[in-house]
Amino acid sequence: MQKKHGSEKLWGGRFAEATAGSVEAFTASIHYDSRLYKYDIAGSKAHAAMLAAQGLLTAEELASINGGLSAIEGEIDQGTFAFKRELEDIHMNIEKALVERIGPAGARLHSARSRNDQIALDLRLYLRDQCDVMVRLLDQVRRAFVVLARRYLGNVMPGYTHLQRAQPVLISHHMLAYFEMFGRDRERFSDCKRRMNLSPLGAAAMAGTGLPIDRAQVAKSLGFAGVTANSMDTCGDRDFAIEFVSCCTMTHLHLSRLSEELVLWSSQEFSFVDIADTFCTGSSIMPQKKNPDIPELIRGKSGRVVGSLMALITLMKGLPLTYNRDLQEDKEPVFDAVDTVSASLAIMAELLGNLSFNTERMQEATRTGYITATDLADYLVLKNVPFREAHGIVGRAVAFGIAKGCELEQLGLAELQSFSPVIEKDVYQVLTVEGSINSRVSAGGTGILRVREALDLAEQQIGMGK
Ligand code: ARG
């Protein structure tokens, strides 16, 4: 059954027949873009205020528009607003309700505006707020790392390359590595916000408008730093959304690497970390299991975030200027990236507050694996042996140790000297884990002097300074 034409649709005038139900179902976005209602209403209020200042609305009309929009917002807040699929999207649901509520004044609101610049506005306003949310969540995670770095300052663990024990490091150094990674993510989000913080409103359908509008006033009242420069670019641009989701992707990659380490470290093979019972789950069949499901799920969710980025990039590729309906497909990936990354950051911050390191076991792991071999090579360099030669000497000493079944510091002085005559008694200091760590005072190194400085700085940055 077809509906009578012109009854509901705000664009119904040109149409002789009603839209097919299947088409309404296929084209509607209200089931997900209703999320933008607050931004849509804020944008409409700013637009109406400007229209009134320009003499395109009377003061009474403005007051009635504002009252109507506030009432609609209240209903949506309360969950009593009836969204209609046949009204397609959030813009037309709100506008139609406004006209029904306040009459002719409502019908003047859309002057000098199109849904093309309206959706660009709503999405920018929404993502601008989400940048702040991400920054706040990233700071929670970074704070958790600073707390761990302070708590375990002085404790050692093996540092890995190729997941093979490489050189001993301070646990705090490892924690502060993540502080840096998430710090870059934070910077990316604030940078992304700065670039997107321009008002698209007034680009109208794509060519601008002949009505006497004041774009700068609207921009100012919505807290934008200015207005976008080109109306065609403005209506077809989703760079800001792609950039935002790419910041999400980078953040989630870091979360995933961290999760991978937590999964490894909580295995019996490593036993480096204990995640509190409240943050683990059990197995329905194996009574002994305590599984690190949270980091596993975060790691698994990487695919969704990367997928959202791919969806957006693919969506934009090959789109001619300016607005195309394809662009409606931008919202679900954006929302999914927001939901996934913010939930993962929040739970990760909590989880970091609920884990403890098995410091004895970690220290134990630095006792084997010839982990101070590089220190022996450096020792020889200081005694004027060329590094390549030193590398060979130590390699032979390690092979000897492996054959004999002992670590370098367990070899006798005479045994060590058989590999190089420059080796003296002071070598044993160099072969200790503590000696190794404390020697690494190069900028950014794991020596306790450097790590203390880095930790102080981190505390200052995050507002935890003493
Ligand atoms: N729901 C649309 C979107 O998300 C809003 C803009 C539609 N514009 C149009 N001329 N059909 O992109």
Q: What is the 3-state secondary structure (H, E, C) of 172-239?
A: HHHHHHHHHHHHHHHHHHHHHHHHHCEECCCCCCCCCCCCCCCHHHHHHHCCCCEECCCHHHHHHCCH
Residue 158 maps to a domain = yes
Q: Are 337 and 302 in contact (CB under 8 A)?
A: no
Give the DSSP letter of residue 282.
Answer: -
- Assign residue 449 the CATH number of its domain: 1.10.40.30
349 and 201 in a common domain: yes
421 and 350 in a common domain: no
Q: Does residue 325 line the site of ligand 1, with CB under 6 A?
A: yes
> Which residue's C-alpha comes closest to atom 4 of ligand 1?
328
Q: In the listed set 361, 382, 416, which residue is the last one of a domain according to the structure?
A: 361
Of 76-85, 257-266, 272-281, 452-461, where does mean pLDDT reach its minimum? 272-281
* Residue 302 annotated in active site: no
165-224: per-residue pLDDT in tens?
999 999 999 999 999 999 999 999 999 999 999 999 999 999 999 999 999 999 999 999
pLDDT at 3 over 70: no
* 3-class state of residue 72 by DSSP: helix
> Which residue's C-alpha comes closest to atom 3 of ligand 1?
328
177 and 273 in a common domain: yes
253 and 192 in a common domain: yes
344 and 401 in a common domain: no
211 and 87 in a common domain: no
372 and 331 in a common domain: no
Q: How far is the CA of 317 from the centre of ligand 1 (A)?
A: 18
Catalytic residue (one of 31, 70, 267, 283): 283
Q: Which of 27, 325, 332 to mutate to test the pocket of ligand 1 (most atoms within 8 A of CB)?
A: 325
398 and 317 in a common domain: no
Residue 41 maps to a domain = yes
227 and 150 in a common domain: yes
Q: What residues make up the domain containing 253?
A: 116-361
- Assign residue 70 the CATH number of its domain: 1.10.275.10
The arithmetic mean of pLDDT across residues 297-320, rounded, is 98
pLDDT at 6 over 60: no
Q: In the listed set 92, 111, 130, which residue is the last one of a domain according to the structure?
A: 111
312 and 251 in a common domain: yes
pLDDT at 17 over 60: yes
The arithmetic mean of pLDDT across residues 346-367, rounded, is 97
> Can you give the pLDDT at residue 465?
72
* Residue 283 annotated in active site: yes
203 and 83 in a common domain: no
Please calculate the CA angle 77-50-80 and round it to the nearest 5 degrees: 15
Residue 1 maps to a domain = no
Structural domain total, the chain = 3
Nearest CA to 356 out of 151, 70, 54 is that of 151
132 and 55 in a common domain: no
Residue 14 maps to a domain = yes
* Mean confidence (pLDDT) of the chain: 95
